Amino acid sequence: MKTFALTLIIAAAAMAADRPANRQFAQQARIRQGVQSGQLTAPEARSLQIRKNNLHQQIVRDRVDGGGLTLAERARIERQQDALSRAIARQKHDAQHR
């Protein structure tokens, strides 16, 4: 039982450490889907992609600087990813079509 609980804790920690990467993949998929469906115009998609790429570069720098993400860095990244997610949703539902 202790081994199982320890395994769950380790798995949860590994998933939490990779949460920023998982969200980036999901956001990329949402942008791609928006372009394919016509919900995002080319300029909107380009702008969102630039924001996503800038955030990705920042995450990479943060991970390299200190050997990983601190709690403060993780919280800041979560807030920025939340803002990007809202921006994607707003752009996809703003009644503009390509």
Rounded to whole angstroms, how far apart are CA atoms 28 and 16?
A: 19
| pLDDT per residue of the chain (98 residues) written in tens, 0 to 9 | 667 665 655 554 554 557 888 999 999 999 999 999 999 999 999 999 999 999 999 999 988 887 788 899 999 999 999 999 999 999 999 887 76
**CA nearest 28: which of 5, 47, 49?**
49
Q: Do 41 and 96 touch, CB atoms closer than 8 A? A: yes
Whether this prediction's pTM lies above 0.95 is answered by no
